Chain A
Amino acid sequence: MSPAVSDVVVTEQYVMPEEHYINSDTSLKSWLLTVDHKRIAILYMLTITFFFFIGGFMASLVRLELLTPAGDLLESDTYNRAFSMHGVMMIFFFLVPSVPATLGNFLVPLMVGARDLAFPRINLLSWYIFLVGASFAVSAMVLGGVDTGWTFYTPFSTTFSNSNVILTAVGILIAGFASIFTGLNFIVTVHRMRAPGMSWFRLPLFIWSQYAASLIMVLGTPVIAITLALVALERGFHIGIFDPKLGGDPILFQHMFWFYSHPAVYIMILPGMGVISEVIPAFAHKRIFGYKAVAYSSIAIAVFGFLVWAHHMFIAGISIYAALVFSLVSFIVAIPSAIKVFNWSATLYKGSIRWNTPMLYAFGFIGLFTIGGLTGLFLASLGLDVHLTETYFIVAHFHYVMVGGMVLAYLCGIHFWWPKMTGRMYPELPAKLSALLVFVGFNLTFMPQFILGYLGMPRRYHAYPPEWQVFNVLSSAGASILAIGFLMPMIYLVWSLKYGKIAGPNPWQATGLEWETSSPPPTHNFLEQPIVTSEPYNYGPKEGEV
């Protein structure tokens, strides 16, 4: 069925540019003290890849344990720490920084036609702060881990847990500042550093989505910092805030936690949507359908995303009238996502479509994100959420959005901009194979979890009733395929650094300022100040005008 598209996209014989941001200075010091946004992006990429594999290792332990109904592989406490560390590492140290801190750092200045971000030193500081926060979390892990789940629900976390809660919470709190700095940098850069002619509606949609995510980072992250600080205070000094025995309110914690952590889901997914909005026009060689609708929907998601937090608490004893409001807004926040999906699909209509790896990931993203988004409606539905919440249904839904959506978008973007970042092409065949394995493995892992959830299997269960084993075995089998799919790029991408075909400035014949400079770009991005004279995604004369 695969149409015979040539894998060879680079037909001309290019040579690497003589000087670029990688070879301008090769000393370790020049990397550790760099203020070049592109190098900081690479530093971030290496860091979060490390955390992705730690989080992945924890997930493997979970899936291995769940192969059998009895809790026979790990001790209960070990299992609880495994899923908690999986969540903490993946969310706070991989997903939140994933696209913004790597692709965003690399591309935001290039795309708006600037030499660097507005505050290059703060950008470097952001990476160091991230490392400090991460080292707290890693030491917590080495010292025995944390067993509260990534959600730190009180009063378990503040009074009852015997694990390294404070160390982990402080790590996340510190890493939050890295996120705030990145967001701040992006917002100022987009406002102040655009090249001549780069008006708001000429910005690539990737920038719109980064901008929307940055708003959430700057406005939401302080709340999680405060919340975790309060957890540490109650745990360390018995100051009653959340534990009823100390006069506190455990539900207050949930309000504060989700006030950040629900918008944080949009911090994670919005940049991924931005990647897809770039890749689809490039491989359809066609302007994006409904540019303004896609751009505004990013902002709408950021705004409405702040007003849905209590949909995590429909059975936690909140007022049923409050639940009515939060349910309604949760339905509304789904609409901008639907608008994006329809516009991406429509962009393909009458395109000239190439099936390269980034496009395969984009197809996967659209399909899985659609399922992830629609299953979100199940959970926004008040009467149905009662049965579904706290079960594997929610686990499956969340992974469809975060892995099927976000991780696929991240891999999509890494492949798409790999030639820009490294100057070399990744090998197409193994890359397509890995995209296929990820897609198949992902669905096999998480589709059975929807069924388990409806059957009532609670999340975070170390042991489960035997009648649910079949679906758990399927899920674990899928996870092993998924793991291979994730490991493959590690090999062939590293391989390509030396042996990949030299890409040239614009191997995909894509629009956007980042493709108008050499690959890899020079330290200051552009040899001459770029001037923007046309609309984005200008892949040819519009219909009607020839």
Chain B
Amino acid sequence: MPTKQTFAEVFQSRGISRRDFLKFCSLTSVSLGLAPALLPKVIHAMETKPRTPVIWLHGLECTCCTESFIRSSHPVMADILFNMISLDYDDTLSAAAGHQLEDVRSKIMKEYNGKYILAVEGNIPLKDDGVYCMTGGNSFLNVVKEVAAGAAAVVAWGACASFGCVQNAHPNPTGAVPIDKVIKDKPIVKVPGCPPISEVMTGVITHFHTFGTLPELDRMGRPKAFYATRIHDKCYRRAFYDAGMFVRGFDEESTRKGWCLYKMGCKGPTTYNSCSKIQWNEGTSFPIGSGHPCIGCSEPGFWDKGPFYTRLADVSFLGTDTTADQIGMVAVGAAAAGAAAHAAVTAVKKKNDKETEK
């Protein structure tokens, strides 16, 4: 295997000027939330460090993370980031297939032992020894364990690998679990979303390449730079929310006026992601921007969190057909009725007692 090129060399070989290279570096530092003083460090790393080898595994998933990743869209970053991470093994994107490809994987694992990044897309079915997901004649469970053993860090791409997605929604027939239930001894960075935003994905890799460590993570193991605030906090429709101007039906005038989708079941207020900041596809739009409520795809267990078009207050309670509010009101009514009945019994008893006294 040839010596890995540095990022700067890749840029040069693709005919991109040093000026554009520096622009890219500053853009990356900004998107990672770094202080300007750290820019030289980023540039230095890009110029001197060989590209980080990445082994990208696909488990029980729909490949939407890959679809998103290959659309990483900042003009210069686009295909360059894709090349520069040195994606040495990815069974979906590689030209090679079969034994050839599997040989590459074992070669990287040997040569870069303890240095490569393992990127996992999709989750791992555990039921019946993991037979519900087989790759290259082996169960995905075994493959992940094998590759993770020599990895410097693990990146959990997407809702599947981070928290579990539609595969481990109730009743979870294959016993699918997110990656952190299987790999416990490696640093894991979760990049949830279905799919995650491409710039977020490339940003995480760039951070690792620059500093050799994972970005700062929040309590849920997500990079703080992208998952610190909710969609709601940076939503361009927030003014409508604060004003109390809500869309009440998709065929209403308020929908055309672009009012807040809170009452349409928007999960923006409980969803941590960067959609309302970075947006999608070169900053074209994001679900709320297109008039659709957020479904909270980067939150744990979002498939099981009630209907997508229903606000939390109208969500059914504990698998019943009634909402928590209806049950609450019935309980309060029952308490009132109980109190009335108890009062009646008390009155009767008192009357009887008085009569027996006489």
Does B associate with A?
Answer: no
A interface list, Cβ under 8 A from B? none
